Structure 1
Amino acid sequence: MDFALTEEHNMIIESARAFVEQELYPFEDEVEKTDQIRPELYESIKQKALEMGFYAANMPEELGGGGLDTVSLTLLEKELGRANFGLQYIVARPSNILQACKGEQVDNYLLPTIRGEKIDCLALTEPNAGSDVRSMECRAERDGDHFVINGTKHFISHADVADYVILFAATGVEDTPRGPKKKITTFLVDMGTPGFTVEQGYHSVSHRGYHNCILNFDNCRVHESQILGEEHRGFDVANEWLGATRLSVAAMCLGRAERALEIATEWAATRKQFGKPIGKNQGVSFKLADMALELKAAELLTLYAAWKDDNGGMTDTDAAMAKLKATEMLQMVSDEAIQILGGMGLMDELPLERIWRDHRVERIWDGTSEIQRHIISRAMLRPYEQ
């Protein structure tokens, strides 16, 4: 395995870092204070991302996307992850499962989303169904060539700015050796469809400017042509999406941790107490060493998973390890960075308190840390099952 980055990789890192520092950093304070992103600012960032070729970088070049391989995309997302999440998410990575679009869906959803003309959001989580996807209560019952959808989704990210939702709903029950399980189907549902409403979600301390919403379906009718993929095979689609998003979460955590470590290192080198820089004290210098070690370990796990994906070999365990390590590493690095800065670390003059607040959700969404450990251990034990 070649651990060296290519010239193209370094160009991506440099251009993405410059984009983040010039186009995103200047607006972080505004978003943190207002919890909003002005429409004109949203459009400005999106247009600049399109011009730079960062928008839809995860989609194939032949479809109009950036066509980046997974390692390149991971490096891009690491740099974007340094900024406020609401701002960096404008540099959209459409859901990779949209490549399952067929027929008119390609022109109505896939291509407009890649071009930035439409925005998608995913609706999987429910009030009574989080990690246990099969227990979802939102159902879609067939009525001729239509489906009637009833139920509620919550914690649905950026549904307040989306044009349509990629909805996962139960469409039946199947018998398995472990008992009955719900069949799940994925639908493309436009905002404004009768019977479908979006409500403001809960106030979160993490990721200001990036909102969660509650989706309500009350006898919402959609045509069977709105099925994404195959009927009853939505769980397969969900698994494909989760693997990619877990790697994205890991990559963005690397960027935030790197920024936090840079701030802590500069502070340790310049802040003087008792006549010398505090970094000269082992109590501080050893913290820096441990932070750097954990960051490097998480980075190697993440890039290794990305490399395996490019070579067709990434497993659920690879993605789970990357997400688990990177999210828990960010917890440690952000907390220790604040400890090094003392009281100043908690002041909003610096981004550390935001990074510390934002890190908490990373160990929950896209599969909790406990779910990642379950995935890893289950794969280890599977060969011994009778």
Structure 2
Amino acid sequence: MDFSLTHEQDMLVSSLRTFVEKELQPHEFAVDRADAVSPELAASIRKKAIDLGFYAFNMPDSVGGAGLDYLTQALVERELGRTSWALHVFVGRPSKILMACKGDQIERYLKPTVRGELVDCFALTEPGAGSDAMGIRTHAVRDGGDYVINGSKHFISHAETSDYVILFAVTGEEEFCERKRKQVTCFLIDKGTPGMTMHRGPHCTSLRGYHQSEIFFSDCRVSAQQILGEEHRGFELASEWLTAGRVMVAANNIGRAQRAFDMAAEWAATRHQFGKRIGEFQGTSFKLADMATEIRAAKLVTLFTADKLDKGTMTDGDAALAKLLATETLGRVTDHAVQIYGGMGLMDELPIERFWRDARIERIWEGTSEIQRHILSKEILRRYS
């Protein structure tokens, strides 16, 4: 399969790399130290991304997005992955689930979000329901033309900078395979709605400056008009969004792994010990060979999976395989990079220790490595059943 870039893709990748290197990377150290991105910097990044046509690159052109295919989106994510999530999050990627908006929701939420006038956050995870999404307990009870919501969410990324919440809540039960199964509905809830409060969650070792929040609902009343999609069909929407998102997480990880590798290779080629470049010692040279091999494999698998997504042939197992391989590759690459740098690899004067810290969360969010292995192994065994 030919994954050589078209002229348009090559220009896009080149432009994005320049944008990341000039507009985002220079702020990494300060953001990591402060554990915050100033509102002024966030607004500046968002405006530049909009002006350059990078904003909402994941959305169809029919609603004002860039209309890129999934393979090209993966190339974009790979370039953005060369810097921190705390910074490149402001090159907005609205939740694709918003394509389920209908009626007034299109002008109220979908199009303003694509234009960068509003920012959404995705609220599914709860304290007692991480990998087990069906275990959520936040519930919404019908009361006339409204729903009354009670419960809580946590680990909700960038909620503090969002304008509204895409919330998943239990709205009923149904019989499924002789068992009771929860029915879940998706709601659009504006920040400031009475009964909904949020605050920053515990401080995370990874991704300083990219915060997660806890959201609480106490008799929060919303209109039935705020349902996104259909009542009781929220998980179908979530599954569609999460599966494609895992491919983009994989692409993002490849960009960061490549940057860590490039820095480690340069260090190995210029650092001398015992009268030789450290890259000439087998203990270092073999690490570089392994890093290059794994990055190449993860890149090809991710691009292949994105191509299948474009063709409509990608399975859940395909997406799981790409995320599993790319995130675990990043973990090994950054660990090798620290080892190649030696003691300096753990000093905060250099970005290597930050790459190492930030890599750890990738094997947890968007579905843990264990969940990816579970999805993939079930799909493999199903072929022989």
1:4 aligns with 2:1: no
CA distance in 2 between partners of 1:6 and 1:44 (Å): 30
Measure, in 2, the Cα distance between the counterparts of 1:307 and 1:96.
18
Matching residue of 2:78:
78
Aligned pairs (5 A) from 1:90-129: 90-129=90-129
Match of residue 145 from structure 1:
145
Which residue matches 2:160?
Answer: 160
Q: Which residue of 2 aligns with 1:200?
A: 200
Q: Which residue of 2 aligns with 1:177?
A: 177
Q: Show the counterpart of 2:253.
A: 253
CA distance in 1 between counterparts of 2:41 and 2:243 reads: 31
Distance 1:175 1:286 in 2: 56
How big is the shift at 1:245?
1.6
The match for 1:13 is 13
CA–CA distance in 2 between the matches of 1:384 and 1:170? Answer: 35
Q: Is residue 362 from structure 1 mapped to residue 362 from structure 2 by the alignment?
A: yes
Post-superposition shift, 1:303?
0.5
The more displaced of 50-59 and 3-12 is 3-12
Tell me what 1:212 maps to.
Answer: 212
Amino acid across the alignment from 2:27:
F
Corresponding position: 1:50 with 2:56: no
1:333-360 Cα shifts (integer Å, max 9, x gaps): 0000110010111111221111100111
Query: Counterpart of 2:287?
Result: 287
Corresponding letter in the other structure for 1:120: D
1:3 CA drift (Å):
2.5
TM normalised by structure 1 equals 0.98
1:160 is paired with a residue of what secondary structure?
helix
Q: How much has 1:257 moved relative to structure 2?
A: 0.3
Deviation at 1:62, TM superposition (A): 2.1
1:342 aligns with 2:342: yes
**Cα distance in 2 between the residues matched to 1:373 and 1:58:** 27
Which residue of 1 is the match for residue 302 of structure 2? 302
Q: What code does the residue aligned with 2:90 have?
A: I
Give the C-alpha shift of residue 103 in structure 1: 0.3
- Superimposed CA distance per residue, residues 259-294 of structure 1 (whole angstroms, 9 cap, x where no aligned partner): 000000001111111111111111111100000001
Separation of aligned partners in 2, 1:47 and 1:208: 22
Counterpart-to-counterpart distance in 2, 1:247 and 1:136: 25
Residues in 1 aligned to 2:350 and 2:307: alpha-carbon distance in whole angstroms: 34
Identity of aligned residues (%): 59
Relative to structure 1, the CA distance from residue 357 to residue 178 in structure 2 (aligned partners, 3 Å threshold; closer, same or farther) is farther
Q: Deviations over 1:209-257 (max 9, x none)?
A: 1100000000101111101011000010110110122112111110110
User: Which amino acid is 2:149 matched to?
Assistant: I
Letter in 1 for 2:238: A
Q: Distance in 2 between matches of 1:131 and 1:260?
A: 29
Correspondence for 2:232: 232
1:69 maps to 69
Name the CA distance, whole Å, in 1 between partners of 2:67 and 2:255: 22
Rounded to whole Å, the distance in 2 between the matches of 1:55 and 1:142 is 37
- SS state at 2:205 partner: coil
Cα distance in structure 2, aligned partners of 1:120 and 1:237: 16
3-state SS of 1:102 partner: coil
Please give the alpha-carbon distance, in whole angstroms, between the structure 2 residues aligned to 1:88 and 1:3. Answer: 25
Residue 326 of structure 1 is matched in structure 2 by 326
The amino acid that maps onto 1:352 is: I
CA distance in 2, matches of 1:355, 1:295: 15
The letter for the 2-side match of 1:221 is: R
1: CA distance, partners of 2:220 / 2:247? 34
Q: Separation in 1 of the partners of 2:213 and 2:347?
A: 29
Query: What runs of 5+ residues in structure 2 fail to find an aligned partner?
Result: none
Bigger shift: residues 170-179 or 329-338: 170-179
Letter of the 2:369 partner, please give it: S
The secondary structure found in structure 2 opposite 1:180 is strand
Q: Which residue of 1 aligns with 2:312?
A: 312
CA distance in 2, matches of 1:220, 1:373: 38
Mapped to 2, the partners of 1:96 and 1:42 lie a distance apart of 22
Matched, 1:34 2:48: no
CA distance in 1, matches of 2:351, 2:55: 25
Following the alignment from structure 2 to structure 1, what is the Cα–Cα distance between the partners of residues 358 and 248? 15
Deviation at 1:203, TM superposition (A): 0.5
TM-score (norm 2): 0.99
Kindly state the Cα deviation for residue 25 of structure 1 after the two structures are TM-superposed: 0.9
Q: CA deviation at 1:152?
A: 0.4
- Give the superposition deviation at 1:383: 3.6
Shift of 1:97: 0.6
Distance 2:138 2:172 in 1: 11
Shift in Å, 1:384: 4.0
| Unmatched runs of 5 consecutive residues or more in structure 1 | none
1:178 CA drift (Å):
5.5
